[in-house]
Structure 1
Amino acid sequence: MNRTTPDYAAIRRHLEGKQGVHYWRSLEELTDDPAFERFIEVEFPDIAPQMDRRRFLQLMGASLALGGLAACGPTPGTAVPYVAQPEIIVPGKALWYATAVQFTGYAQPVLGCTHVGRPTKLEGSPEHPASQGACDAFTQAALLQLYDPDRSQAPRFKGVESSWDAFESDAATLQAECDHDQGQGLHILMGASSSPSLQRQLEKLIVRWPKASLYRFEPFEEGRYGPARLAFGRPVEIHYLLQNADLVLSLEDDFLGAGPKQTSQARAWANRRQAAARGDGESRLVMVQASPTLTGANATETRRVQPAQLPALVRALAAALSEGSAAPLAAPDQQWVEAMAAALQSRRGRCLIVAGPHTPADVQAAVHRLNQRLDNVGRTVGYTAPVLFTRIGEAQLGDILALTQAIHNAQVRTLVMLDTNPAYSAPGDLYFREALEKVPTRIHAGLYYDETGARSHWHLCASHSLDGWGDARAVDGSVCISQPLVQPFYGTRTLVEIVAMLAGELSPDGHALVRNTWSSLPDDEWRRAVALGFIEGSALPSLQVTAEPVRIADAPVVSGLQVQFRPDPSVWDGRFSNSGWLQELPRPITTLTWDNIIGVSIAVAERYRLVSGDRISVMIDGRSVEGPAWVMPGQADTVVTLFAGYGRERSGRVGNGVGYDYAALRMADSPWLRSGATIARLDQQSSLAFTQMQHTLIGQDVVRHVPRAQAVGPARPTPELPTLYEQPVMSEPTWGMLIDTDQCIGCNACIVACQAENNIAVVGKEQVAKGRVMHWLRVDHYYDGSALDPGSTFLPVPCMHCEKAPCEVGCPVNATVHGADGLNEMVYNRCIGTRTCSSYCPYKVRRFNWYNWTENDEPSIQAARNPNVTVRSRGVMEKCTYCVQRISEARIAARKDGRPIAEGEIQTACQQTCPVQAIHFGDLSKKDSAVNKAKDSIRHYALLEELNTRPKTTYLAAIRDQKPGEEKA
């Protein structure tokens, strides 16, 4: 589409003139532009010239997981063929192992599915209370990272491949120096960690070398230990008990958004929503935010505020709750605060106030005090000792600012950097890259030869969580044991092994090091812990703490625009930027792929005449960054949002040179927010690949809501629509799906799970922009209400598996057919690529292979994929199959045992990973099946039911809550 500045005033008038709830997907949709109408009506974009070989190989190299090539390096020992194959290895039959992957220091407990010794899928551990069988997109994509051929494969010395023996020799010299000087000049910087084994080793190191210094740096810290120390006098871990909260007030806390605690918090939130949907209590969420968030998108009410207004708002709320005094706010704000306080007071012990990690420390501390006053402690919020370790022995871990100052003071002789990339992610005012050059000896250990590794004397290749032994604590503090799912592809070492080498241990064994940490466990308990993936009963006990009163300081007077710095919801701080699965995953709010954007409000867009895609420059104190603007409905008027994780130099072939890096504007003393910014529109546009307006559904009541008071009751009879065809007879079994839009939070974990399970190709930015993304499942985002402060609903759309499927009628070669168990099946060998089925499908869920993504594959690459799913070739149509391979596996097992398929025995990949249990799957031919019971609701409806396709995938309407203050408190 050509650049045309929207008439934002006309958009407002358009929405104000609507009666009832009006749903929309983008600002452009509200302009009634004929060019836009033509754009969304195009079903198939014109065939583009053949992709150049360089880009094709880039995507093939890292996005399709070259697991075979990764395993072709030299392996110590003698290869022994399977002359007598182990009994447990059965070709085609999966083996499952419990393990864990780490994300910002927290363990994510998982089960790893392996086929003939190769991991092919990760699922959340059903035994662990923090995951309960679910997991997030980052955890799903950890599998692709394991097979990434751009991972560091050997130690490097000054950029040249070396050996571990050579490093051990240099480490011996370092040990002698440290023994002589008691560690004077040795400084160790690490990413956030909760590993008891690593903590134990570092404690031994500090005892041996007491003058050594330790630091921790995490670009987006989730621990919130500093504000807790301000409130309680000690650092504590905060645990939201959302399953008990009838009302949640979130002050810029995106607790449903991407992060290490997303799965557990989303599951607890879903439990509360499910109970409320049954009529058991309430489930209301009020979000105070400056930038749109996933939590705000799921809120009953959102309230836009400028960050500088938040301290005064919290002071006024505290005063209304009889906690201190405050000057009254402007009338509308004061009325809102008083209504909010009344709603909280009426739900004492059943409400919760939360504050985001980027809010001022005194605001977070005040929130602890308010929860205590409202009797919420122990009911809707709990506290334990920190999960991440913040001290080693008696020594508190320093921060990166203290380390930089030590470097400038010539106090750092040797700097060891473990699992961190400060040369890329450190705040810009530290000039850490330049400071690093002053350190005489620099040692870096990480998964990739990244920006920090390239500036170090020694770079040490670290093992992945899935190919090495380790331990770490989950978000509840329970100890998870990581066991390798596969023999290491390269000559890598785990972090605990690397620290052991620094201490002088030759050829350390990771298993022995971890086992020594837990030597108090008898062998049988250790084996059970490894089998379960965690040590039972190891969760941290609750703490009884008292929050002291805190004075909330006035916010500084701000001028110009305020800039918020946020992690990217798909690549976080850049650690996942080389993952094709995550780069191509639509962001939950914007549906953008393959780029980061600069979020601006409608007010800023009007002032500077911006449209999404315009390149702009954001300037503060003479420093600037450039990137594409994105007009964000719901953004606070004077706030600009920058997203991390891009502008990488040494990410890998997928992530290099993509997007902008905002480090130049981020300051060490203000890592989340800066004021005094100005922007300028550049005379350029960026080509952005987003999916919001692709595969648009045109019909009645695509998204539905019902008031809370009318949400409980049996399903209403649905009148049979007239048809010229005979009604099909339901077979036994007949598989079907139900999606609860009231539960879905739009996290998109289901999309990555489907991609991993079904060998779905990554196509690249250019093809996504043409509408050729291959995802079998999409999550549509619908706005409603005002463009300035809209509501949101998320609608997952897989194949409907219609009983009267138009695609089956349209296919000229019978390549799409109706199966015996009611599935709408694809016979790939028959498909000749006419794409007729896609043009006949009103739900727009079919995907066409415009290119042959597998033609240059090495045979060994197939080991990285699910062997039970056919890899499709060019010219073939594909779509959601309800994970037919899982259905077949369960059917074979049941037939072998002479029994029917048990209820819940089959879970589709999207259903299994969903942290909020929004997806139900089962046998529709059984009246008492769980899926049929769930469908017996007044909220039940079919998508585009006026077309009479009789889809087997149906929906439950979302529930509308009253806003606090609209009802009697």
Structure 2
Amino acid sequence: MNKDSKPPVDIASLRAKLAATKGQQYWRSLEELAGTKEFDEMLHREFPRQASEWPSTLDRRSFLKLMAASLALAGLSSCGVQPEEKIVPYVRMPEGVVPGLPTMYATAFVMGGYATGVLVRSYEGRPTKVEGNPAHPASLGASDIFRQASILTLYDPDRSQVITRRGLVTPWERFVDEIRPVLDAQLALQGSGLRILTETVTSPTLASQCQALLQRFPQARWHQYDPAGSDAMREGARLAFGNYLDTYYRIDAADVIFSLDSDFLCYGPASLRYSREFASRRKPRQSEGSMNRLYVAESSATNTGATADHRLPLKPSQIEQAARLLAREIGLEAVQASRMTLSDKQQRWVIAVAKDLQAHRGSSVVIPGEYQPAAVHAIVHAINQALGNAGRTVVYTDPVEARPENQLASLNALVSDMKAGIVDVLLMVGGNPVFDAPADLEFTKALNNVPLRIHLGLYDDETSSQSHWHIPQAHPLETWSDARAFDGTVTIMQPLIAPLFNGISAHEILSVFLGQTGVSSHDIVRNFWRSKQGESGFEDFWHDALNNGIVPATAAPARNALLAGSPASWTPAEAQVEEMEIAFRPDPTIWDGRFANNGWLQELPKPLTKLTWDNAAIMAPATAQRLGLAPADLVGLNYKGRVQNFPVFILPGQPDGSVTVHFGYGRTRTGKVGSGTGFDAYRLRTSDAPWFGGGLSIQKTGERYPLSVTQEHHAMEGRAPVRYGTLADYLKDPEFARKEVEIPARGETLYPEFKYEGYAWGMSIDLNACTGCSACVVACQSENNVPIVGKEQVANSREMHWLRIDQYFS
């Protein structure tokens, strides 16, 4: 979709058209299905409109703004001297660096606190490409869009480059000197005015430092907050078992999988592993039971839902109703029934799933959505126990997080202390709470009550602007650290390059608060592990841990988990009857906003919507028709007395009566690429309903907002790229897909036929296994340093991705 206005599509006529169709029909957009004049005109132009023109609107300044990090990646040869500490290459260790030959190093990237192991390719001390680590349990050799794009962030010239005090450039030594008397004063008060705010911590070394800090300042408080955190999962486990437990799944052992609003194949600490295990069971063989079966009930369209064999769109509040109905159908009569708003057809769907799960006791799994309330997680724990899945397809461990807690409650407590004026010093280690804290907490207002505010961040961002001290944070490829994977396995993270902008690590700033100035991250991490392993054999341990990318014997052991109390106490949520609901989700490409300045991720088409450079209010065709809305209409979303404008995006498969908005956009202070893009959904998000709620109202503004969407680009007119068959069709004739007629026929060409001799190379994609995660698209862009072109040029079909993932509806 480009800037040209499009007439609204008649949804009723489309439904009639589909009802009259026999067999499977595939289409890429509502406009294609309707066969509008505008779509046909676009389709029959061999080249997109204005493709032969280069508009004057893209000036030198705009070009450099978009290309800055890519140019740095392409041209940087040595912006810093390698650290003097020894780092260990993976697989091979040459005697010396050979120019032009890469060396692979094992390390990890952390997201949401959890580590995913990677191998980083380095040319002469310059990291250039990230791949998965086959030896790491969370990777198994795979990586995702965020790890692939991390190289661009490393070389981003918009990253914070200097320490500032009230906006003035200040040396690190000055910060150390000025913080020392402040800490001495807090020592006399036992730290009663000191607060530390971090993101989720699984790092054993960082956790040890935080605990040491609390011992030095007994009255201090350590808070954690992650805007895309897992409070519901933690509280669901405590509701079910009486204490915090972690859960992970053995997807390869499950014949039947039921996801209750979980995009487990594409996002989460174990998603890469789950995707690999899922794909291993999607290969048709000469037996009916070889392939798994995936059911998905979801409130927002996801890649996992698109991969499902059977999918049911539900409003967010109806997911709990489905969970309670499922529990009662498999014999958990103690689970209270909800006030039902599910239709008869939807209830029959859930009952059919219950029968399939019961037929596969011990070889099935039910996965709760990370954004569903604690009651849903507790019910699912009871369901998996009743089905005999615990210990088989479901594994329980002690928490991997260093200190599991309800993070929203922790942040609320911090805000209360700041408002009360009892916080004298606040150290914020990473994160951006001024931007992403729930709107009702008024974090910025409370923060301004704190006499001394210090922020360690990768960018000079919204939180930095409200802090007295801003300290540039080292990139994960620039510093030593450690972190745990979803199962507890530790990776010791080693740098591949000296900090390009003199960044400081979290370990180094905490060491200052511990009175240990001048200690490097390398020494802090190494000394921690020396204290754990002892002197005997430590050098061999250190070498092997760095070489392999994992610390052996650090995975959390599986444990038994018994339900605490009766499920009857898990009170149903009040049903949202005839109310418009809103669902908040992290953006699929820029996540919670931390990747907003990464051009590769901004221009990556988002799953299902194929939207770039923006977010939108995603709604079902029926919802849009009822409200008289067309794509790209600018509307005001009014939720709990707060109003935020969003453009409309109409998506088949979105549940009727629910609007999904992705947070992370609307940044005002991040860099030249990300500032000013999209709309800020955090302005509507509140601490009492962080993921969804009812009572949304929508008002037309009378304006329109152009969206750049790649869904209709490169249409395969007249061809049959989608070839469909059931497992029974395949078992009857494994060659059925090859027998379809090619359009155009092989001989219909202007070129003379060429006889190929010897090897012919090609690439095939197993669509039974592909989840549409787009990691291959970003990997190709990273490998070849493919440039971005910006929103306006994407609208003119000029995006330069060498790979694309087409999305078809049926």
**In the alignment, what sits opposite 1:298?**
307
Any idea what the Cα deviations from partners look like across 1:93-141, whole Å, max 9, x if unmatched? 1111111111111112111111121111000012223211110000001
Kept in 2: contact 1:186–1:213 (CA 8 A): yes
Q: Distance in 1 between matches of 2:724 and 2:113?
A: 39
Q: Residues 65 and 747 from structure 1, CA distance in 2 versus in 1: closer, same or farther, beyond 3 angstroms?
A: farther
Distance 1:396 1:525, change over 3 A: same
The reply to whether residue 367 of structure 1 matches residue 355 of structure 2 is: no
Quote the sequence identity (%).
Answer: 40
Q: Matches of 1:391 and 1:741 in 2, distance apart?
A: 38
Tell me the equivalent position of 1:688. 707
Q: Report what 2:547 is aligned to.
A: 531
Counterpart check, 1:780 vs 2:799: no
CA drift at 1:300: 1.1
Partner residue in 2 for 1:446: 457
Distance (Å, rounded) in 1 between the aligned partners of 2:268 and 2:601: 14
Question: Is the 2:77–2:126 contact (alpha carbons within 8 Å) kept by the matching residues of 1?
Answer: no
**In 1, distance between residues paired with 2:674 and 2:657?**
31
- Secondary structure, aligned partner of 1:29: helix
Q: Which residue of 2 aligns with 1:792?
A: none
In 1, are the aligned partners of 2:82 and 2:125 still within 8 Å (CA)?
no
Say if 1:23 and 1:333 are closer, same or farther in 2 by CA, change over 3 A.
closer
1:770 alignment partner AA: N
Structure 1 residue 710, shift from structure 2 partner: 2.5
Q: Which runs of 5+ in 2 are unaligned?
A: 85-93
Q: What is the match of residue 509 of structure 1?
A: 520
| Amino acid in structure 1 at the alignment position of 2:797 | G
Match in the other structure for 2:793: 767
Map of 2:138 onto structure 1: 130
- Match of 1:354, SS state, is strand
SS of match in other structure, 1:518: helix
Matches within 5 A, 1:739-750: 739-750=765-776
Does the CA contact (< 8 Å) of 1:478 and 1:539 recur in 2? yes
Q: Report the counterpart of residue 69 of structure 2 in structure 1.
A: 62
The residue number in structure 1 matching 2:91 is none
Question: 1:617 Cα shift?
Answer: 0.5
Higher relative contact order (CA 8 A, sep 6+): 2
**Partner letter of residue 472 of structure 1?**
A
Partner residue of 1:424 out of 435, 447, 451:
435
Secondary structure of 2:223's aligned partner: strand
C-alpha distance 305-401 of structure 1, shift in aligned 2 (>3 A): same
C-alpha distance in 1 between matches for 2:215 and 2:65: 48
Equivalent position amino acid for 1:594 in 2: W
Matching residue of 1:264: 273
Deviating more after overlay: 686-695 vs 299-308:
299-308
Match of 1:25 in 2: 28
8 Å Cα contact 2:80/2:497 also seen in 1? no
Q: 2:614 aligns with which of 591, 595, 599?
A: 595
Shift of 1:707: 0.9
Give, in whole Å, the separation in 2 of the partners of 1:332 and 1:66: 54
**Deviation at residue 194 of structure 1 after TM alignment:** 0.8
> Cα deviation per residue 1:701-732 (whole Å; 9 max; x = unaligned)?
21011111132465478699668988655444
- Cα distance change on mapping 1:55 and 1:518 into 2, 3 Å: same
Q: Which of 11, 14, 20 lines up with 1:11 in the alignment? A: 14
Asked if 1 retains the 8 angstrom alpha-carbon contact of 2:299 and 2:319, the reply is no
Residues 552, 397 of structure 1: CA spacing in aligned structure 2 closer, same or farther, 3 A cutoff?
closer
Structure 1 counterpart of 2:511: 500
Q: What is the Cα deviation at residue 2 of structure 1?
A: 2.5
* Alignment counterpart, residue 327 of structure 2, candidates 318, 322, 332: 318
CA-based RMSD of the aligned residues comes to 2.4
Amino acid at match of 1:535: V
Q: Secondary structure at the match of 1:737?
A: coil
Q: Unaligned stretches of 5+ in structure 1? A: 78-85, 785-969
SS in 1 for 2:807: strand
Counterpart amino acid of residue 32 in structure 1: G
| Structure 2 counterpart SS, 1:273 | coil
Structure 2 contact 224–407 (Cα < 8 Å) conserved: no
| Map of 1:541 onto structure 2 | 557
- In the alignment, does 2:661 pair up with 1:653? no
Query: Residue 210 in 1 paired to residue 210 in 2?
Result: no
1:220 matched to which residue of 2?
228
Give the equivalent residue in structure 2 for 1:926.
none
**Partner amino acid for 1:119?**
P
| Residue 737 (structure 1) aligns with | 763
Structure 2 residue corresponding to 1:103, chosen from 92, 108, 111: 111
- 1:791-843 superposed Cα distances (whole Å, 9 cap, x missing partner): xxxxxxxxxxxxxxxxxxxxxxxxxxxxxxxxxxxxxxxxxxxxxxxxxxxxx
CA distance in structure 1 between the aligned counterparts of 2:123 and 2:170, rounded to whole angstroms: 33
Indicate the SS of the match to 1:112: strand
In structure 1, give the amino acid aligned to 2:155.
Y
Alignment match, 1:461: 472
Secondary structure of 1:772's aligned partner: coil
Structure 2 equivalent of residue 201 of structure 1: 209
Q: Higher mean Cα deviation, 321-330 or 711-720? A: 711-720
Aligned equivalents of 2:712, 2:287: Cα separation in 1:
34
How do 1:230-241 and structure 2 match up within 5 A?
A: 230-241=239-250
Pairing 1:436–2:447 present: yes
- Counterpart for residue 880 of structure 1: none
What is the match of residue 339 of structure 1? 352
Matched, 1:355 2:372: no
Counterpart for residue 571 of structure 1: 590
Note closer, same or farther for the CA distance 1:272–1:581 as it changes in structure 2 (3 Å cut).
same
Equivalent residues in 2 for 1:534-933 (5 A)? 534-548=550-564, 549-550=566-567, 551-558=569-576, 560-712=579-731, 715=735, 728-784=754-810
Q: What SS class does the counterpart of residue 735 from structure 1 fall into?
A: coil
- 1:179 deviates by 1.5
For residue 321 of structure 2, give the secondary structure of its aligned residue in structure 1.
helix
Matching residue's letter, 1:350: S
Q: CA deviation at 1:391?
A: 5.2
CA contact (8 A) 2:298 2:319 kept: no
Shift in alpha-carbon separation, 1:113–1:70, aligned structure 2, 3 A: closer
Q: CA deviation at 1:674?
A: 2.0
Name the residue aligned to 1:143: 151
**Displacement, 1:261?**
2.9
The residue aligned with 2:49 is 45
Cα distance between partner residues in 2 of 1:172 and 1:388: 30
Structure 1 CA distance, aligned partners of 2:543 and 2:81?
31
Cα distance in 2 for partners of 1:53, 1:372 equals: 62
Offset, 1:254: 1.3
Q: Please report how far the alpha carbon of residue 665 of structure 1 lies from its aligned counterpart in structure 2 after TM superposition.
A: 1.2
Matched position secondary structure for 2:100? coil
Q: 1:327 to 1:483 in 2, by over 3 A?
A: closer
CA distance in 1, matches of 2:542, 2:782: 31
SS at match of 2:371: coil
Contact kept in structure 2, 1:23 and 1:783, CA below 8 Å: yes
Contact 1:257 1:569 in 2 (8 A): no
1:353–1:619 CA distance, 2 compared to 1 (3 A): same
Question: Is the contact between residue 633 and residue 703 of structure 2 (CA under 8 Å) also seen in structure 1?
Answer: yes
For residues 37 and 513 of structure 1, the distance between their equivalents in structure 2, rounded to whole angstroms, comes to 64
Q: Distance in 2 between matches of 1:137 and 1:723?
A: 39
Query: Normalising by the residue count of structure 2, what TM-score does the alignment of the two structures yield?
Result: 0.92
Residues 414-459 of structure 1: per-residue CA shift (max 9 Å, x gap)? 1111111100000000111111101111111111111111111111
Residue 153 of structure 1 deviates from its aligned partner by 1.2
Q: 2:489 aligns to what?
A: 478
Q: Tell me the residue number matched to 1:116.
A: 124
Summarize the Cα distance change of 1:144–1:277 in structure 2 as closer, same or farther, 3 Å threshold. farther
- Whether contact under 8 Å (1:175, 1:503) holds in the other structure is no
The separation in 2 between residues aligned to 1:586 and 1:396, in whole angstroms, is 31
Distance (Å, rounded) in 2 between the aligned partners of 1:681 and 1:284? 42
Deviations 1:223-263 (A, max 9, x none): 62111111111111111211111111111111123343321
Contact 1:311–1:553 (Cα < 8 Å) also in 2: no
2:168 to 160, 165, 170: 160
